[in-house]
Amino acid sequence: MARTRNQKHLLIGVGAIFLVLLISFGIYTQSQPRRLYPGEVREYKGEKLSSISDIDENAIRGNQILSESNYNLTITGEVNKKQLFTYNEILGKFQLYEKAVTLSCVEGWSATILWEGVLVRDLLDAAETNQTARTVIFHAADGYTTSMPLEYFYDKDILMAHKMNGLVIPPEKGFPFQLVAEDKYGYKWIKWITKIEVSNNENYKGYWESRGYPNDADIP
């Protein structure tokens, strides 16, 4: 009986050591609880929507916490009228639109969300882009950048969103504004936008693009 008990303790000990080794080498990870977002819309015009929690929180320097009262969006560069908008000015001066768009990540996951916000081209029109403008560069609070050709924002109804699934975008998902880069992979969907720079540099490469990701990020 004592021998059996000792063998059992030995197996438990070996198992515990094995589990520690798995965790140490990153082979085993305990699943993390997913946050719920009470009140979010889950259907739009007959189309089922993903949950906000289905979007992974990818960021180069962790979540950014921006204050609505202190927020400013700068529009600068190849423009005739440099602009500086507060959060409330953006929502009060420009027409709001909504549409369901699917975010597809290069990691293999996707989520269809109802987005609400302003058209990027309306913001650009307010700044009056000049004849040398070719590229629109977005800057985030964490230093992340990405860009797209100017015509992309005039060929499509591209939103800079402040709501997702009927709720104000949570801080961990990109408050106050996230780019809804329709038909582009997720690394173009920049969050925590603080500046829009209009550039004449057609070859500008953002954070991931300068590390080898395709600059167009087109979804096949």
Residue 207 has pLDDT above 50, yes or no: yes
- Convert the pLDDT of each residue in 74-85 to its tens digit: 999 999 999 999
Identify the pLDDT of residue 40. Answer: 97
**Mean pLDDT on 36-47:** 94
- 174 — alpha (psi -120 to 50), left (phi > 0) or beta? left
Mean pLDDT throughout 26-38? 62
Q: Is the pLDDT of residue 12 over 60?
A: no
Q: Please say whether the structural domain 45-211 has been given the CATH code 3.40.50.720.
A: no
Instruction: Work out the burial of residue 48: count CB atoms within 10 Å of its CB; fewer than 13 is exposed, 13-18 middle, 19 or more buried.
Output: exposed
Quick one: pLDDT at residue 90?
98
Q: For the segment 132-186, what is each residue's pLDDT rounded down to a tens digit?
A: 999 999 999 999 999 999 999 999 999 999 999 999 999 999 999 999 999 999 9
Q: pTM for the complete prediction?
A: 0.84
pLDDT of residue 58: 87
Instruction: Return the domain boundaries, the chain.
Output: 1-28, 45-211
pLDDT at position 4, please?
Answer: 45
Mean pLDDT (whole number) for 101-126: 98
Quote the percentage of the chain above a pLDDT of 70: 85
